[in-house]
Amino acid sequence: MANASDHMLAARIASETGNLLVELLEQHEDSKRPKGGIEYLGDRTAHEFIVDQLARHRPGDAVLSEEGYDNPSRLGADRVWIVDPLDGSSDYGWSATWSVHVALVEGGRATAGAVAVPGWETTWATEPTPRPVMSRVAEKPLILVARSRRNVDGRLLHAAIDADIAAISSAGVKAMAVVRGEADAYVHGGYLYEWDSCAPVAVALAAGLSACRVDGSALEFNKAEPTTDGLVICRPELRDDIVGALAPLA
């Protein structure tokens, strides 16, 4: 199982990668940014830093990164780091909604992880565990969905449980908004890659939130096809209502 230093390592790498990405923006003011967008430079810089850190500190562990080659030897590995060096990359450079994901997977479960959101100047990790989510005062639950899916996921949730819906970028940012108690749930009805969901799920579970697929089943990581068929991260008391609302997608 993950040990104390795994939690600390995940937090440190996510946090330092976030700082590196902020520095990269500072070095490239708007007029000096590549025409195709600075996110490609961000993706590459962040990926190289994370892979180098893991090679140095966990040389025996496998790595699956959004920006790297998928080495099938990870399928037989006891310990696999699943990382998204820059999540919400289309927002990188002009909004606060991008994040860095670093998670350790053992036996199909995320056992340690961290999500850095530099725009909110915070890194959340599995240890120390996030502060427990306080009770909400709003009458209606606020549910975050992907911009690309608001007409599907948002519509279903609004119709079934009269939730307020907001659409923002980055799986990590949406999940951490729930961890911070600013939203009640993050729902994604379509498929995601494991690097999108893995670290946010690790942190959300450590915060006492529920995390499951849209049909309510358990999440599994480091699969041959590294995707997640839908994701719900929410306050535990909302889980059944949300899964029920998403039944048409399950």
Contact residues: Mg ion, CB under 5 A: 66, 84, 86-87
Least Cβ distance, residue 91 to Mg ion (angstroms) = 11
What is the three-class DSSP state of 3? coil
Phi first, then psi, for residue 55 (nearest 5°) are: -65, -35
Q: In terms of CB distance, is 86 or 212 closer to Mg ion?
A: 86
Q: Show the tokens assigned to 115.
A: 């999500």
Least Cβ distance, residue 150 to Mg ion (angstroms) = 21
**Closest among 75, 78, 56 to 2, alpha carbons compared:** 78
Q: Cα 199–204–206 angle (5° rounding)?
A: 100
Total H helices, total E strands in the chain: 6, 10
Q: In terms of CB distance, is 154 or 172 closer to Mg ion?
A: 172
Least Cβ distance, residue 244 to Mg ion (angstroms) = 32
Handedness of CA 71, 15, 218, 106 (dihedral sign): positive
Q: How far apart are CA 231 and CA 216, in angstroms?
A: 9
Q: Show the tokens assigned to 204.
A: 């959300």
- 140-150 burial, b at 16+ Cβ within 10 Å, e below that, comes to ebbbbbbeebb
Q: In terms of CB distance, is 46 or 204 closer to Mg ion?
A: 46
Q: In terms of CB distance, is 120 or 193 closer to Mg ion?
A: 193
Radius of gyration in angstroms for the set of CA atoms belonging to the chain, rounded to a whole number: 17
Q: How far apart are CA 189 and CA 193, in angstroms?
A: 13
Least Cβ distance, residue 179 to Mg ion (angstroms) = 20
Contact 16, 102 (CB under 8 A): no
Least Cβ distance, residue 87 to Mg ion (angstroms) = 5
Least Cβ distance, residue 18 to Mg ion (angstroms) = 13
Q: In terms of CB distance, is 92 or 124 closer to Mg ion?
A: 92
Q: In terms of CB distance, is 61 or 87 closer to Mg ion?
A: 87
Least Cβ distance, residue 227 to Mg ion (angstroms) = 14
Q: In terms of CB distance, is 86 or 110 closer to Mg ion?
A: 86
CA atoms lying within 13 Å on the CB side of residue 236: 8
